[in-house]
Amino acid sequence: MLPGLQRPLLAALLYLLPGGLSRLPGYSNGFHYQDISNGNGNGEIYFNGVRLHVESPQHSVSATRGSSVTLPCHYHYEPELNTPRRTRVKWSWLPANTATAPVTPEAIARETEVMVAMGNRHRSYGSFRGRVRLRRSVPGDMSLVINELQLNDTGRYRCEVIDGLEDDSVTVELELRGVVFPYFSQKGRYHFNFFGAQQACQDQDATLATFEQLYAAWEEGLDWCNAGWLADGTVQYPITAPRDGCGGVDLAPGLRSYGQRHRLLHSYDAFCFSASVKGTVYFLKQRTRLNFTEAVQACSRDGSQISRVGQMFTAWKLTGLDRCDAGWLADGSVRYPITKPRDNCGPPEPGVRSFGFPPPYLKFGVYCYR
């Protein structure tokens, strides 16, 4: 392996490879490069004014849940090199809602590793393990391919290329197309601490929304006068029509923020984010109305499952589901989706109408998901 390298250099190289032969004490992130030399393969260092450039043609990429996405990143040298240098690439990730913050040393310290690669060897980490690879379509192509995108993959990705003498990086933001919806507990308003809110969104096939996602929803007209948790642990709510009781009439439209709240002790609602998945939500054809127990069974008999709230919102927002019939959903709420507002189907704006959580013996239709 690695012929032609002097032993100290070889040791240094192995040190770079997470899980490599030498896991030295003090190993931190598998990405030390202070000691490494570069050049003709004999451990000789030379410096000739060559500059490494790392670039991306796209600073933000938008994708759909479950799909694959490529985050572009290329490097080249100026002037061009005749002999290629040994480079390492590290992709790291800063979860969303810090994505628009400046790239400060503190922010970089909070990044988590996605993948580290050197030569043909690479290693991926955490929930990215087995889902990421480098595209390598042309020399210098270090674009990251992520498969089976998950709702919580959004955020800022940093592509860092290091060759021992030079180090440069570029960031690419990943957004998912989806829908933000406010969510509150069956027990009533303001019943979730942060962890309860996280769980509640997950139970509805969603994840806590990021600041960017809530902001985008507000830009599209979301107006909601109850405060909810976001993924970063802040509590906020979106107001398009300022009014008393919702921050007051003097405050401009926007997101009203309570800032960071205590994740265990403080209780609010949640803002969840969900995105398209394969599958459809449909109103089950039934001759009679059903109580909640019967509704769950009816979907099951139809070879599907009672729809979760995130699936209903996704179907409404992304596939235009429109049905003026109230139906049970998995959390025991009753709702219906309207994309073309009309008489007797709720307010003049499109939306998923909610009857809250009626007693389970009351009879309605049901929305199933398959």
Ligand X SMILES: *[C@@H]1O[C@H](CO)[C@@H](O)[C@H](O)[C@H]1NC(C)=O
- Residues within the interface to ligand X (CB under 6 A): 127, 150, 152, 291-294, 360-361
Residue partners of 114: CB distance under 8 A and separation at least 6: 91, 92, 93, 124, 125, 126, 128, 132, 144, 157
Min separation Cβ 314 and ligand X, Å:
15
3-state secondary structure of 246: coil
Q: How far is CA 132 from the centre of its chain?
A: 15
Min separation Cβ 232 and ligand X, Å:
13
Residue nearest to ligand X (CB): 361
Residue closer to ligand X, measured from CB, 15 or 292: 292
Min separation Cβ 44 and ligand X, Å:
42
Q: ∠ CA(186), CA(355), CA(323), 5° rounding?
A: 130
Residue closer to ligand X, measured from CB, 199 or 339: 199
Longest dimension (CA), the chain: 82
Residue closer to ligand X, measured from CB, 88 or 308: 308
Min separation Cβ 75 and ligand X, Å:
28
Min separation Cβ 177 and ligand X, Å:
17
Min separation Cβ 94 and ligand X, Å:
11
Residue closer to ligand X, measured from CB, 226 or 291: 291
CA–CA distance, 15 with 26 (Å, rounded to integer): 10
Residue closer to ligand X, measured from CB, 7 or 187: 187
How, if at all, do strands 269-275 and 228-229 pair? parallel
Residue closer to ligand X, measured from CB, 42 or 293: 293
Residue partners of 211: CB distance under 8 A and separation at least 6: 96, 97, 230, 231, 232, 234, 236, 255
Cβ-contact 337, 316 below 8 angstroms? yes
Taking alpha carbons only, the member of 66, 18, 12 closest to residue 35 is 12
